[in-house]
């Protein structure tokens, strides 16, 4: 019986708390890996700089059962994909200057709870994972609060303030997928980079400086509006950070793997 259970990967699901068959649950949903080809993913460990080819992208086989991953968290994933890959011609936008746009979605264009939960669920999945590549993502005491939000127990409107940026460059940068700590001294912030988007999540808005609040509060995801910011300044920052990460990888001896079939 033990051998059969091990083979089926029976364990406690971190979401429903029941003993179930656990599945390969993606931390960042598979559809947000733009570089996927023949189900091959180049996965870079943000902690060690090591890289591997995987067939399923970044996943953990020890955190979620099929029902919770597909039917609960999966509904949040669907809304994230629908909004971020939707028809932008349907969205209003504010032209800040010739090269910059801020897309504005009214409440009838998105489901606030599902969209907010989509971003929170990515951080929560990374935080509960015991895999080495996610060890730098630790919500600490906010992990339980994130879970309470996901199950609809509490809303915590002052927590997990979200800014959505869209990269205006059509380069390899858009194929980068990562979750990283943001560089702040007064509050905890995480960056989710995927499919040409940069998502900044401020974990506790009560710790954000008034100057930052005045500058960005209008654009935080809220029940009335969702804003997608596409400006040269942010795109330049994304490119600079990408180049820095790649330079650090090359200095550690990184050599891009050759595509299958090439000697």
Do residues 59 and 26 lie in contact, with contact meaning Cβ atoms separated by under 8 Å?
A: yes
Give the HSE-up count for residue 61: Cα atoms under 13 Å, Cβ half-sphere: 7
Supply 241's token pair: 């950070």
Determine whether 109 is exposed, middle or buried from the number of CB atoms within 10 Å of its CB (0-12, 13-18, 19+). Answer: middle
Determine whether 57 is exposed, middle or buried from the number of CB atoms within 10 Å of its CB (0-12, 13-18, 19+). Answer: buried
Per-residue confidence (pLDDT) for residue 224, from 0 to 100: 95
Residue in 21, 150, 14 with CA at minimum distance from that of residue 75:
150
pLDDT reading at 94 higher than 80: no
- To which residue do tokens 């002052």 refer? 158
- Dump pLDDT digits (tens) for 178-189: 888 887 777 789
Per-residue confidence (pLDDT) for residue 172, from 0 to 100: 64
Per-residue confidence (pLDDT) for residue 5, from 0 to 100: 44
d(CA 236, CA 261): 35
pLDDT reading at 34 higher than 80: no
Per-residue confidence (pLDDT) for residue 35, from 0 to 100: 65
Backbone angles phi, psi at 261, to 5 degrees: 95, -5
189 three-state secondary structure: strand
Taking the mean position of all CA atoms in its chain, how far away is CA 261?
Answer: 32
Query: C-alpha angle with apex 137: 135 to 139, nearest 5 degrees?
Result: 125
Per-residue confidence (pLDDT) for residue 261, from 0 to 100: 38
Strands (E), the chain: 10-12, 19-21, 25-26, 41-44, 51-54, 59-60, 92-97, 100-106, 159-166, 178-181, 189-194, 197-204, 225-230
- Dump pLDDT digits (tens) for 196-247: 899 999 999 888 888 777 778 889 999 999 999 888 777 777 777 777 777 7
- Average of per-residue pLDDT values in the chain: 82
Backbone angles phi, psi at 67, to 5 degrees: -60, -45
- Dump pLDDT digits (tens) for 145-159: 999 999 999 999 999
The mean per-residue pLDDT over the stretch 85-90 comes to 76
How confident is residue 192, by pLDDT bands cut at 50, 70 and 90?
Answer: very high
Helix 73-84 / helix 112-128 crossing angle, nearest 10 deg: 120
| This prediction's pTM | 0.84
pLDDT reading at 170 higher than 70: no
d(CA 203, CA 167): 23
Per-residue confidence (pLDDT) for residue 1, from 0 to 100: 39
The mean per-residue pLDDT over the stretch 65-89 comes to 92
- Dump pLDDT digits (tens) for 98-134: 667 888 999 999 999 999 999 999 999 999 998 888 8
pLDDT reading at 52 higher than 70: no
Q: How many residues does the chain have?
A: 263
Q: Which one is predicted more confidently, 9 or 23? A: 23
Tell how many helices (H) and how many strands (E) occur in the chain.
Answer: 7, 13
Supply 251's token pair: 């200095």
Per-residue confidence (pLDDT) for residue 48, from 0 to 100: 61
């Amino acid at each position: 019986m033990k051998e059969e259970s091990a083979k089926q990967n029976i364990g406690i699901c971190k979401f429903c708390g029941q003993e179930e068959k656990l599945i390969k649950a993606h931390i960042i949903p598979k559809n947000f890996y733009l570089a996927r080809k023949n189900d091959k993913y180049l996965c870079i460990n943000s902690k060690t700089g090591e890289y591997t080819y995987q067939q399923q992208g970044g996943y953990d086989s020890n955190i979620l059962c099929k029902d919770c991953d597909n039917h609960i968290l999966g509904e949040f994933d669907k809304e994230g994909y629908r909004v971020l890959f939707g028809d932008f011609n349907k969205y209003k936008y504010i032209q800040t200057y010739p090269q910059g746009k801020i897309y504005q979605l009214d409440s009838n264009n998105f489901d606030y709870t599902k969209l907010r939960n989509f971003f929170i669920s990515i951080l929560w999945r990374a935080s509960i994972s015991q895999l080495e590549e996610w060890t730098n993502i630790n919500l600490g005491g906010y992990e339980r609060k994130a879970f309470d939000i996901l199950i609809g127990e509490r809303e915590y409107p002052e927590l997990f303030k979200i800014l959505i940026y869209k990269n205006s460059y059509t380069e390899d940068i858009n194929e980068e997928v990562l979750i990283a700590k943001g560089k702040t001294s007064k509050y905890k912030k995480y960056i989710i980079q995927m499919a040409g988007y940069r998502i900044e999540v401020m974990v506790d808005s009560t710790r954000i400086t008034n100057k930052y609040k005045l500058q960005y509060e209008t654009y935080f995801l809220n029940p009335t509006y969702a804003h997608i910011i596409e400006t040269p300044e942010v795109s330049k920052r994304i490119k600079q950070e990408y180049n820095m990460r790649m330079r650090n990888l090359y200095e550690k001896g990184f050599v891009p793997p050759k595509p299958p079939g090439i000697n």
